[in-house]
Amino acid sequence: MKITYQNKKKRILLELLSISIGIFGVCLFFIGGGFSSMLPASVEVTETTTTVTTTAPTTTTTTLPAPTTSTTAAANHDSVKNESVHIDNVAPRRRVYLTFDDGPSKLTKDFLAVLKKHKVHGTFFVIDTKYDHELDNIFRSGHVIGLHSASHDYKDIYESTKSFWKDMDKIADIVKENTGQDAEIIRFPGGGSNTVSRKYSEGIMQRLVAQSEKRGLVYFDWNCDSGDTWFENGKPFSEKKILKNIKESVEKREDDIILLMHDRYDMTNTLEALPKIIKYFKKQGFVFDVLTKDTPPVRHKVVN
Ligand SMILES: [Zn+2]
């Protein structure tokens, strides 16, 4: 009796065990998604794995079945989270307009190479130089060309409004010849707030501002000077000093930045600083843009 009872107990245990294994197997089948496709679980797992590696993070999180993909889904979730944190940091996005005056020069091609490498565009306020052939390169690279004067000679251009526009028409023609485009924006040499013009003609800046509007030309000054034409202890600002100067100026403001730099033959410090300047603005979440006649202008107070 004892032996029979033990055998019976063993048999019942074995049956319970096999039923449990069966239920467990069915559960695994359903969890693996086999029900929907009626394919063997192993095939489905392979397909799932393929989906994980090829689908964009945002969609995988909702479609992936557990448990083989949970690690990937978690990783994707993290990356999505990081992305949203990044967006939070940069909103609202300020704009930066990199502007280069006094070119083209022997350095223009190098400036263009840096801008290309970092996939950003700038605005070049040009004068008449022996590097006029670079104007087409500037334009074809997707940058905007504005007029800055042909001669950049204060004595000549600010002698009278007539001589100013004669000089401006000259650079406008040069730009048109080289790029096939009519420039729509200008920057006065010395800026709209210059006082040097007073030496040659009292009140000329006010007259030029009014006349530029009549001609359909929009003029821009700047609200951040890189300082690349500044000197300290008889030496031009170094690359480091330029970067520091920009950072200090940008941190003081909360608006869009029109940054003044120079594409002049001797601006090697600016050229050296430019990759770091771009990286700085990118890190701060700025959107890079070019000036057009529709850009809200930044203008200094006209004092002559
Ligand atoms: Zn200039």
| DSSP-derived secondary structure for 135-186 | HHHHHHTT-EEEE--SS--HHHHTS-HHHHHHHHHHHHHHHHHHHS----EE
Strands (E), the chain: 95-103, 123-126, 144-147, 185-186, 218-219, 224-225, 231-232, 235-236, 257-262, 287-289
Output the CA 189–ligand 1 centroid distance in Å.
5
53 against 284, higher pLDDT = 284
The percent of residues in the chain predicted with pLDDT above 90, rounded, is 70
Assess whether pLDDT exceeds 50 at residue 298. yes
| Amino acid of residue 8 | K
pLDDT in tens, 130-164: 999 999 999 999 999 999 999 999 999 999 999 99
Output the CA 37–ligand 1 centroid distance in Å.
71
Output the CA 292–ligand 1 centroid distance in Å.
19
pLDDT in tens, 176-201: 999 999 999 999 999 999 999 999 99
DSSP sequence for 202-216: TTHHHHHHHHHHHTT
Assess whether pLDDT exceeds 90 at residue 272. yes
Assess whether pLDDT exceeds 90 at residue 203. yes
Assess whether pLDDT exceeds 60 at residue 65. no
pLDDT in tens, 68-109: 333 333 333 333 333 444 555 546 799 999 999 999 999 999
Q: Which helix (H) or strand (E) holds 271?
A: helix 268-283
Quick one: CA torsion of 54, 57, 58, 59, rounded to 10 degrees? 30
Q: How much is the pLDDT for 64?
A: 31
With tokens 């001797």, the residue in question is 266
Residue of 117, 102, 202 whose CA lies nearest to 149 = 102
How far is the C-alpha of 238 from the C-alpha of 178, rounded, in Å? 33
Output the CA 187–ligand 1 centroid distance in Å.
8
281-295: average pLDDT: 97
Identify the band that residue 278 occupies on the pLDDT scale cut at 50, 70 and 90: very high
Output the CA 102–ligand 1 centroid distance in Å.
5
How far is the C-alpha of 116 from the C-alpha of 114, rounded, in Å? 5
Q: How much is the pLDDT for 92?
A: 75
Output the CA 227–ligand 1 centroid distance in Å.
13
pLDDT in tens, 247-268: 999 999 999 999 999 999 999 9
0.75 surpassed by pTM: no
The environment of the single-atom ion ligand 1, i.e. residues with CB closer than 5 A, is 101-102, 189
Output the CA 124–ligand 1 centroid distance in Å.
11
Assess whether pLDDT exceeds 70 at residue 208. yes
Look at the alpha carbons of 289, 114, 228, 281 in this order and tell me if their dihedral is positive or negative. Answer: positive
Whether residue 124 contacts residue 146, with contact meaning beta carbons closer than 8 Å, is answered with yes
Question: How many other CB atoms are there within 10 angstroms of residue 127's CB atom?
Answer: 24
Assess whether pLDDT exceeds 60 at residue 40. no
269-290: average pLDDT: 98
Whether residue 209 contacts residue 191, with contact meaning beta carbons closer than 8 Å, is answered with no
Output the CA 101–ligand 1 centroid distance in Å.
5
Q: How much is the pLDDT for 22?
A: 54
Residues contacting residue 208 through CB under 8 Å, at least 6 positions apart = 161, 164, 188
Output the CA 272–ligand 1 centroid distance in Å.
20
